[in-house]
């Protein structure tokens, strides 16, 4: 299903989605974030760069309570599971890189051991994507990690900006439902609309971006470069914060803690929170031994997870090239540079490779 | 956290009292049978200087409506100058709590000597009276789960 | 004005002469115009060093990392490490020395005077008069009291004060007081800092005062701060970037807990945890307030915590609030002297007392 | 929680607790707490049956912890801990919850009081839950006492200590012992001669084999702890060797310098080399470096040249000695309230306005006037003398708030001595109240008023000024309501007593506190009046507050007795609740070192180390440590957290 949405009618479409909570990008307290919108507001537009945080938290929130626990009168433990039952949510204006990231999360939390909490949130979540006519950030590099500025993976709807209007394309049954619900705001798309959209797509693909060199060789070369001294050198300015991982649309590491609220009777809850491989205590053993004690090892873990381990397990780079970790890194650590340098060093010395 | 609208709100106060002066002063209030509200639960510490700002934050985060730190008068500290250190440190705690918008009445310090039973009673009485109009403190309180 | 060639020569000489084992400085990164921290140990690398309005980082952090690394490896420091230090960086080094974390002879301070300059706040470019998208920039530079910004197609000159970071506008000691060698202008009587920048500098604590004016009531302040604390994602960039946050174990971590064969499960469960990992409002408040209190008398207002915060929590407000109270009430100036006792392990008879009943 | 098996015992205290608090409900609420295996309530926990019941419960239930909810721990914590020990537990396996003074006695509403009693008991339970068994720290004892100040208080304490078989190190700042009392003439109310009473004691001190006397010396630094102090003492250069000095006065005869004699309070002059007074101990001339024309290089050298025994040497140096002692008695005495602050009475400006101590010298047979009362200006015997009491005392607005206690009595004595010498003279006393509590004191004052016909005027003096050779005194007699104007020959001011000049320094050196007026503070105003807050440091005499000679002597003996009691123990024990460093977390930032009031923490290889016996467990270091690298045993942050939580539990 493809339709045309006049830019001025965006609010009307949102207003028609009565059964959904709609989140749209807004500049709030100085940052771009997805915030709930009711719809009919005048001037609801999608002129945003990429948001500071991806919409990852909608399916994998920073804090998830698994269950609460307490003691019964006779001192026996009692668990009360707390599986979320969120309302239907639509995230509007999702960039294709973030849409694609959702499919990676689906693999992690869905394939081998389905995560009930993730599934409950994911099942009620829809992404309405917005194609990138030009890269929203100078650090974008989606094309060299297998993505596309017009990519459709993970999205339920893709909107393509045609200056005064959007071409709106349903990609899933949920997407069709969203468009059906908003049909009052949508009009038929014509061949010229489609042609213009195609033009935009070709222009976007042709737009220069940061590039990971020889991506197909990267997993192998990272593997070869595991012991490289470059890791430590590249991590030299690293301060060991969690920005790169917490802003990443695909990072999914977590910690599980019992938050004890009272000692007598014992009560509290078991909570999953985001964790970061960049934190010094991430791999700290209770013996005091830390297998990744230095910053180089932690940088290597982050990069290799994205470009080697995930590839080995799932056949795709985990990184979707959104560029957030580059933009927000306080000291300029640039994942594209890191990958390229380590891979280049590990490249077999063959003229063809240079 | 359930609140029964029918029962009037009773402020919950954590009172850190130094062992040598303020706790002894509260003992004297008892010996003198001076009546004051039962809202403050004392926790005896060796010296007001040992009260870490973390204790105060934690009390608020666990739901205290008010926190009192009471020590010896200046110059009377059993440990010579612990109360001077406490005063400087807790002044900053007070300023910071007010700065983020906690009502200034919720954190209080006093000097109560072992001979000031009546003063101890007054400190508690005044504190409770000042806390009543504010209602329960939820700003810093942990909401679980 | 600091001539880059002079900087390069000075650093090369130090490395060549073996006076320092390495130099912590800035170089051009791969992600555009912004400088990035670097540690160089070969004389020929000296020419990579840059000095421009993007040299925002407080390099004292890397002294802490250096000590940690040496501590882990058991490497004795037979030679000092060199460091480029702005006024704020130098104050941080003083606090580290005051706290016995660093000895004066372990560090060679190459002072860089910000006397007629300061650092760029890229957020001020967006929506500013020129409407420059920092993403379009290629380079930034000093030129007198102006910044020169260049994109591939265009060049802008603008008064530095208009786009300078608040911390620099409010800075009282832009020239490092402690140094082994100094590049740039020493502050002079004739040309005090304010005049050098044509009266466009802010009063000390200007942002703090502005906030206090706009949020005068407790309710207004709470409205503001609860929103800020709710946003925190606990990435700990504020902590990680801070040269003063060098505790072996942060109150929000548990990395120092080690077990022995006879450690019981009970003891493991009994680890003291003041603040949970949950990025909840209360835990975030616990974290940020504790951090502000731990920095009282130690924060030298390099403003790095606020700069790096990805969700833009105005952390400088908390720290400058503590700084101003310490200054006005206790006469304490962080980073001014190695000799004095720390703010919170000292007192004066006339400290404020009127808040006590 | 700790996995301990805990019993909770709630005391009714007759009706004292049970009258307000529902003790059974407290017991049942505590029974529901984790770790509590038995609870009970008793009429009187502190009674023998109560304590026996606790012991029985400990054995029966194999308890390893006991909470007793009862009265203030100040009363019975020790009782219940000893009781727990009797049952085989450690003292720290017992905690006391104060539900009487802090609860039952101060609240009327039984419901509220009961709930609070439960919370208080829970706090004690949480503290107990993480207490570790600790044994007192055992230390040895140095059976030797430092006495600081050799006035009558220091002399008395030294003699008592020495008589009990303890070695004494008596340190005096001045060149002779004797202190203020040596400058007095006769003493009230018996009018016995001060020097006659004191001199034998001074000689005894000098000759006692157990007393080591150090004059012209000051305590510079004290380190260590009760039973084992190290004291650093600096002794000024002794240019005259007391053992060689034959008191011939040849040296003073040739000395060209003339300066006011401070031992005569400026009423006479002395040479740079002189004998403070004839009874001085040590019996020796002394060379005052400050007024000498010059020792380095030697400017004059006459005294050395004339001395037949060769007692004088100019090249002697000050020396510093370090001594070991087990206890300290501080008896640093008083000064009169500063003259410069009392210009309104003409003191220091009008020659014939003198203070009480100067008048003592004028009355003293060994004084500058050989006991004849002559006024300073023209050495005539005064006929009209005005005595003014409470000069500086009892004047909180402008001077000292306190009563100096002895002025009423010595003023009466002064008036009497004057009247005895000048029977036709007239004496007036301006006073606020007459405070003459003490054996024979009131009778003495009455005698002065009635038999000696001294004129007592109730009121303050408004103005004193020189008028020709008279000193004119304006005042008001508030009893008659009339203004009084007296043309006096001499005015004597009863100045307030204040702590001696070095009191602040010695307090700091010894780490003892001072009260708001600057006098040394006793540990408890009623029950520990001669102990300071620092264990092993005792107080005697006017350094602790204004008092007369008998009281001073009594307090000195009391301080000596306390020191004897302390040092008679073969070993001393120190509370084990001391700070403990977690070296892994310590960064050596020194904040704890700066914070510690007892110098108990030092850095060793960049890490803080606590000297257990110096640590008093105050916890200032804990609150100052940013790294959570130090904590006080059995008052840990974890305990604090759990106690806070137990208060706020819903």
Does C130 have pLDDT greater than 80? no
Question: Three-class SS string for D253-282?
Answer: HHCCCCEECHHHCCCCEECCEECCCCCCCC
Q: Say what the pLDDT of residue D596 is.
A: 94
With b for 16 or more beta-carbon neighbours within 10 A and e for fewer, the D167-196 pattern comes to bbbbbbbbbbbbbbbbbbbbbbbeeebbbe
Q: Is A204 helix (H, G, I), strand (E, B) or coil?
A: helix
Query: Which of C49, C47, C44, C38 minimizes the C-alpha distance to C16?
Result: C44
State the Cα torsion D152-D158-D162-D167 to the nearest 10°: -160
Least confident segment among A302-306, A332-336, C142-146, D152-156: C142-146
Residue D567 DSSP label:
H
The residue behind tokens 């004892």 is: D141
Mean pLDDT of the C128-134 span: 73
Rama region for C236: left / alpha / beta (φ>0; ψ in -120 to 50; rest): left
Residue of B nearest to C212 (CA): B99
Q: Is D638 on the interface with C (CB under 8 A)?
A: yes
Chains contacting D (3 or more CB pairs within 8 Å) = A, B, C
Which candidate in C67, C246, C247, C286 is best for mutational testing of the D interface (most D CBs within 10 A)?
C247
Which candidate in A28, A230, A241 is best for mutational testing of the C interface (most C CBs within 10 A)?
A241
**Biggest distance spanned by C-alpha atoms of chain B:** 48
Percent of the residues in chain A that have a pLDDT greater than 70, as a whole number: 97
Mean pLDDT of the D287-305 span: 90
Q: Say what the pLDDT of residue C173 is.
A: 87
Q: D104: burial class by Cβ within 10 Å (0-12, 13-18, 19+)?
A: buried
* Helix D23-31 with D110-129: angle, nearest 10 deg: 40
All residues at 6 or more sequence positions from D329 whose CB lies less than 8 Å from its CB, including other chains: D145, D146, D147, D148, D154, D157, D161, D538, D539, D540, D556, D559, D560, D563
Q: Is B145 on the interface with C (CB under 8 A)?
A: no
Q: How far is B141 from chain A (nearest CA, A)?
A: 12
Q: In whole angstroms, what is the distance from residue A348 CA to residue B9 CA? A: 75
Binned at pLDDT 50, 70 and 90, residue B7 comes out as: low
On chain D, the residues whose CB falls within 8 A of the CB of C258 are: 584
pLDDT in tens, D67-101: 999 999 999 999 999 999 999 999 999 999 999 99
Q: Determine whether the interchain pair D34/A266 forms a contact, defined as Cβ–Cβ distance below 8 Å.
A: yes
Which secondary-structure segment (H or E) carries D320?
A: strand D319-325
Does C197 have pLDDT greater than 60? no
What's CA C3's distance to the chain center, in Å? 24
Q: What's chain D's average pLDDT?
A: 93
On chain B, the residues whose CB falls within 8 A of the CB of D616 are: 79
Which secondary-structure segment (H or E) carries D30?
A: helix D23-31
Q: Say what the pLDDT of residue C127 is.
A: 66
ipTM value, please give it: 0.93
Q: D37: burial class by Cβ within 10 Å (0-12, 13-18, 19+)?
A: middle
Q: In whole angstroms, what is the distance from residue D394 CA to residue D139 CA? A: 46
Residue of C nearest to B124 (CA): C357
Q: Is C342 helix (H, G, I), strand (E, B) or coil?
A: coil
Does D1 have pLDDT greater than 70? no
DSSP A79-112: EEE----PPPEEEEEE-HHHHHHHHHHHIIIIIS
Q: Strand A186-188 to strand A21-28: parallel, antiparallel, or no bridges (unpaired)?
A: unpaired
DSSP C91-149: HHHHHHHHTTSS-GGGEEEEEE--TT---B-GGGTTTSSS---GGG--EEEEETTEEEE
Binned at pLDDT 50, 70 and 90, residue A163 comes out as: very high
Q: A352: burial class by Cβ within 10 Å (0-12, 13-18, 19+)?
A: exposed
The residue behind tokens 């009778």 is: D443
Using alpha carbons only, give the angle A303, A305, A309 rounded to the nearest 5 degrees: 130
Q: Say what the pLDDT of residue C132 is.
A: 82
Q: Where are the beta strands (DSSP E) in D356-499?
A: 384-391, 426-431, 455-458, 461-467, 470-477, 482-488, 490-495, 497-499
Beta bridge partners of C15: none
Q: In whole angstroms, what is the distance from residue A70 CA to residue B145 CA? A: 12
Mean pLDDT of the A220-243 span: 95
Query: Which of D637, C356, C271, C291 minimizes the C-alpha distance to B55?
Result: D637
Q: How far is D63 from chain B (nearest CA, A)?
A: 25
Least confident segment among B81-95, B128-142, C222-236, D498-512: D498-512
pTM of the model: 0.86
Q: Say what the pLDDT of residue A86 is.
A: 93
All residues at 6 or more sequence positions from C328 whose CB lies less than 8 Å from its CB, including other chains: none
Closest partner CB to C357 (pick from B74, B95, B110)? B110
Q: Is D1 on the interface with A (CB under 8 A)?
A: yes
What's CA A41's distance to the chain center, in Å? 27
Q: Determine whether the interchain pair B43/D643 forms a contact, defined as Cβ–Cβ distance below 8 Å.
A: yes
Closest partner CB to C282 (pick from B81, B100, B142)? B142
pLDDT in tens, D548-561: 999 999 999 999 99
Binned at pLDDT 50, 70 and 90, residue C71 comes out as: confident
pLDDT in tens, D492-517: 999 999 999 999 999 989 988 888 88
The residue behind tokens 């063959």 is: A350
Mean pLDDT of the A145-154 span: 96
Q: How far is A16 from chain B (nearest CA, A)?
A: 34
Q: Is A25 helix (H, G, I), strand (E, B) or coil?
A: strand
Beta bridge partners of A2: A169
Binned at pLDDT 50, 70 and 90, residue A255 comes out as: very high
Query: Which of A130, A96, A134 minimizes the C-alpha distance to A320?
Result: A96
On chain C, the residues whose CB falls within 8 A of the CB of D595 are: 345
Q: Say what the pLDDT of residue B2 is.
A: 45
Q: Say what the pLDDT of residue C19 is.
A: 94
Binned at pLDDT 50, 70 and 90, residue C186 comes out as: confident
Q: Say what the pLDDT of residue D88 is.
A: 95
Q: Say what the pLDDT of residue C194 is.
A: 47
Q: How many residues does chain C have?
A: 357
Q: Say what the pLDDT of residue C1 is.
A: 74
Binned at pLDDT 50, 70 and 90, residue D347 comes out as: confident
Q: Say what the pLDDT of residue C256 is.
A: 55
pLDDT in tens, D448-485: 999 999 999 999 899 999 999 999 999 999 999 899 99
Q: In whole angstroms, what is the distance from residue D245 CA to residue D236 CA? A: 17
Q: What's chain C's average pLDDT?
A: 89
Query: Which of D201, D199, D202, D205 minimizes the C-alpha distance to D162?
Result: D205
């Amino acid at each position: 299903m493809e339709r045309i949405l006049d830019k001025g009618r965006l609010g009307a479409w949102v207003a028609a989605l009565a059964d959904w909570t709609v989140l749209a990008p807004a500049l709030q307290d100085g940052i771009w974030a997805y915030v709930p919108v009711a719809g009919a507001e005048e001037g609801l537009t999608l002129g945003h760069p990429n948001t500071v945080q991806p919409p990852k938290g909608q399916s994998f929130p920073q804090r998830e309570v698994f269950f609460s626990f307490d003691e019964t009168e006779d001192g026996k433990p009692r668990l009360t599971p707390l599986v979320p039952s969120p309302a239907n949510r639509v995230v509007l204006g999702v960039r294709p890189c973030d849409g694609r990231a959702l499919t990676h999360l689906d693999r992690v939390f869905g394939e081998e051991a389905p995560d009930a909490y993730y599934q409950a949130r994911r099942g009620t979540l829809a992404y309405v994507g917005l194609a990138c006519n030009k890269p929203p950030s100078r650090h974008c590099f989606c094309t060299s990690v297998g993505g596309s500025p017009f990519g459709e993976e993970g999205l339920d709807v893709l909107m393509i900006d045609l200056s005064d209007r959007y071409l709106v394309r349903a990609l899933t049954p949920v997407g069709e439902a969203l468009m059906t619900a908003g049909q009052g705001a949508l009009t038929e798309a014509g061949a010229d609309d489609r042609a213009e959209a195609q033009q935009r797509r070709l222009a976007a693909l042709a737009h220069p971006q940061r590039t990971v060199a020889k991506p197909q060789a990267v997993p192998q070369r990272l593997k070869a470069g595991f012991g490289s001294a470059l890791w430590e050198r590249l991590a030299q300015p690293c301060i060991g914060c969690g920005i790169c991982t917490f802003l990443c649309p695909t990072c999914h590491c977590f910690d599980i803690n019992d938050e004890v609220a009272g000692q007598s009777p014992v009560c509290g809850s078991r909570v999953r929170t985001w964790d970061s491989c960049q934190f010094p205590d991430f791999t700290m053993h209770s013996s005091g031994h830390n297998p990744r004690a230095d910053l180089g090892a932690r940088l290597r873990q982050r990069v290799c997870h994205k470009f080697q381990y995930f590839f080995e397990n799932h056949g795709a780079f985990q990184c979707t090239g959104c560029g957030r970790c580059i933009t927000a890194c306080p000291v300029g650590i640039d994942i594209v540079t890191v990958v390229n340098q380590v891979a280049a060093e590990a490249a077999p010395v063959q003229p063809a490779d240079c | 956290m359930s609140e029964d609208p029918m029962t009037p709100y009773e402020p919950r106060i954590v009172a850190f009292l130094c062992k040598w002066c303020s706790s002894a002063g509260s003992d004297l209030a008892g010996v003198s049978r001076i009546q004051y509200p039962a809202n403050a639960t004392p926790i005896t510490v060796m010296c007001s200087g040992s009260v870490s700002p973390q204790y105060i934050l934690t009390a608020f985060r666990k739901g205290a409506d008010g926190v009192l730190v009471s020590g010896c008068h200046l110059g009377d500290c059993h440990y010579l100058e612990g109360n001077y250190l406490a005063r400087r440190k807790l002044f900053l705690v007070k300023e910071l709590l007010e700065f983020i918008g906690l009502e200034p009445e919720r954190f209080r310090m006093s000097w109560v000597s072992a001979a000031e039973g009546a003063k101890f009673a007054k400190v508690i009485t005044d504190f409770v009276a000042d806390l009543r109009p504010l209602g329960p403190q939820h700003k810093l309180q942990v909401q679980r789960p | 004005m600091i001539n880059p060639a002079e900087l390069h020569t000075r650093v090369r000489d130090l490395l060549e002469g073996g006076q320092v084992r390495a130099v912590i400085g800035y170089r051009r990164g791969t992600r555009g115009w912004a400088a990035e921290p670097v540690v160089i140990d070969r004389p020929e690398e000296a020419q990579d060093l840059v000095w421009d309005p993007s040299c925002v980082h407080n390099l004292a952090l890397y002294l802490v990392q250096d000590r940690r690394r040496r501590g882990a490896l058991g490497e004795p420091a037979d030679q000092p490490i060199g460091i480029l230090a702005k006024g704020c960086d130098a104050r941080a080094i003083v606090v580290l020395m005051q706290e016995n974390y660093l000895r004066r002879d372990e560090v060679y301070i190459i002072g860089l005077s910000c006397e007629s300059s300061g650092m760029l706040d890229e957020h001020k470019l967006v929506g500013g008069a020129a409407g420059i998208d920092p993403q379009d920039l290629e380079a930034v530079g000093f030129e007198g009291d102006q910044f020169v910004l260049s994109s591939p197609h265009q060049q802008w000159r603008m008064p530095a004060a208009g786009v300078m970071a608040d911390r620099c506008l409010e800075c009282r000691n832009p020239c490092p007081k402690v140094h082994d060698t100094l590049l740039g202008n020493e502050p002079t009587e004739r040309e005090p800092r304010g005049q050098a920048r044509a009266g466009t500098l802010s009063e000390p604590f200007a942002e703090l005062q502005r906030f206090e004016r706009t949020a005068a009531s407790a309710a207004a302040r709470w409205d503001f701060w609860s929103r800020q604390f709710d946003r925190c994602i606990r990435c700990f960039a504020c902590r990680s970037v801070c040269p003063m946050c060098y505790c072996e174990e942060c109150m929000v971590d548990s990395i120092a807990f080690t077990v022995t064969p006879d450690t019981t499960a009970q003891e493991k469960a009994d680890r003291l945890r003041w603040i949970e990992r949950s990025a909840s409002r209360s835990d975030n408040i616990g974290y940020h307030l504790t951090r502000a209190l731990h920095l009282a008398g130690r924060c030298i207002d390099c403003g790095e915590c606020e700069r790096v915060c990805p969700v833009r929590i105005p952390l400088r407000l908390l720290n400058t609030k503590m700084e101003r109270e310490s200054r006005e009430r206790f006469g304490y100036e962080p980073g001014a002297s190695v000799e004095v006792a720390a703010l919170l392990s000292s007192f004066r008879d006339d400290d404020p007392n009127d808040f006590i009943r | 929680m700790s996995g301990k098996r805990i019993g909770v015992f709630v005391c009714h205290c007759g009706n004292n607790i049970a009258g307000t608090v529902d003790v059974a409900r407290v017991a049942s609420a505590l029974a529901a707490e984790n770790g509590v295996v038995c609870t009970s309530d008793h009429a009187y926990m502190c009674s023998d049956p109560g304590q026996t019941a606790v012991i029985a419960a400990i054995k029966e239930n194999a308890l390893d912890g006991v909470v007793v909810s009862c009265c203030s721990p100040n009363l019975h914590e020790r009782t219940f801990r000893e009781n727990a020990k009797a049952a085989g537990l450690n003292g720290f396996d017992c905690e006391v919850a104060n539900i009487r003074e802090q609860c039952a006695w101060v609240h009327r509403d039984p419901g509220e009081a009961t709930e609070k009693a439960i919370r208080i008991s829970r706090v004690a339970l949480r503290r107990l839950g993480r207490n570790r068994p600790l044994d007192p720290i055992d230390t040895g004892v140095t059976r030797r006492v430092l006495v600081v100040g050799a006035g009558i208080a220091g002399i008395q304490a030294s003699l008592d200590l020495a008589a009990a078989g303890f070695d004494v190190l008596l340190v005096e700042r001045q060149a002779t012992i004797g202190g203020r009392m040596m400058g007095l003439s006769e003493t009230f109310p018996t009018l016995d001669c001060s020097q006659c009473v004191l001199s034998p004691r001074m000689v005894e001190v000098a000759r006692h084999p157990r007393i080591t006397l150090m004059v012209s010396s000051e305590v510079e630094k004290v380190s260590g702890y009760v039973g084992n102090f190290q004291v650093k003492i600096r002794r000024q250069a002794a240019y005259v060797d007391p053992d060689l000095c034959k008191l011939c006065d040849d040296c003073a005869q040739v000395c060209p310098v003339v300066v006011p004699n401070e031992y005569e309070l400026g009423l006479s002059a002395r040479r740079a080399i002189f004998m403070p007074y004839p009874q001085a101990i040590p019996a020796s001339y002394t060379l005052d470096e400050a007024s000498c024309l010059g020792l380095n290089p030697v400017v004059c050298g006459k005294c050395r040249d004339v001395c037949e025994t060769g007692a004088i040497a100019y090249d002697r140096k000050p020396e510093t000695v370090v001594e070991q002692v087990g206890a300290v008695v501080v008896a640093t005495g008083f000064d009169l309230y500063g003259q410069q602050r009392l210009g309104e009475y003409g003191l220091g400006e009008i020659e014939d306005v003198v203070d009480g101590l100067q008048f003592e010298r004028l009355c003293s047979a060994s004084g500058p006037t050989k006991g004849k009362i002559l006024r300073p200006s023209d050495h005539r015997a005064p006929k009209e003398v005005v005595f003014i009491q409470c000069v500086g005392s009892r004047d909180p607005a402008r001077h000292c708030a306190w009563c100096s206690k002895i002025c009423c009595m010595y003023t009466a004595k002064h008036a009497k001595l004057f009247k005895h010498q000048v029977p036709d003279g007239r004496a007036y006393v301006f006073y606020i109240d007459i405070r003459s509590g003490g054996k024979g004191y009131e009778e003495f004052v009455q005698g002065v008023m009635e038999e000696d016909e001294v004129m007592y005027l109730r009121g303050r003096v408004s103005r004193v000024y020189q008028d020709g050779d008279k000193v004119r005194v304006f005042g008001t007699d508030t009893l008659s309501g009339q203004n009084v104007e007296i043309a006096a020959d001499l005015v004597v001011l009863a100045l307030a007593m204040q702590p001696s000049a070095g009191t602040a320094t010695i307090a700091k050196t010894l780490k003892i506190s001072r009260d708001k007026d600057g006098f040394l503070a006793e540990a408890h105003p009623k029950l520990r009046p001669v102990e300071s807050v620092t264990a092993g440091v005792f107080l005697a005499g006017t350094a602790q507050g204004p008092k007369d000679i008998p009281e001073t002597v009594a307090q000195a003996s009391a301080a000596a007795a306390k020191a004897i009691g302390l040092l008679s123990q073969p070993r001393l024990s120190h509370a084990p609740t001391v700070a403990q460093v977690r070296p892994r977390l310590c960064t050596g930032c020194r904040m704890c070192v700066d914070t510690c009031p007892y110098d108990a923490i030092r850095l060793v290889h960049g890490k803080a180390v606590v000297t257990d016996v110096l640590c008093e467990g105050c916890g200032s270091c804990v609150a100052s440590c940013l790294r959570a690298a130090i904590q006080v045993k059995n008052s840990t942050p974890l305990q604090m957290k759990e106690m806070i939580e137990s208060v706020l539990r819903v």
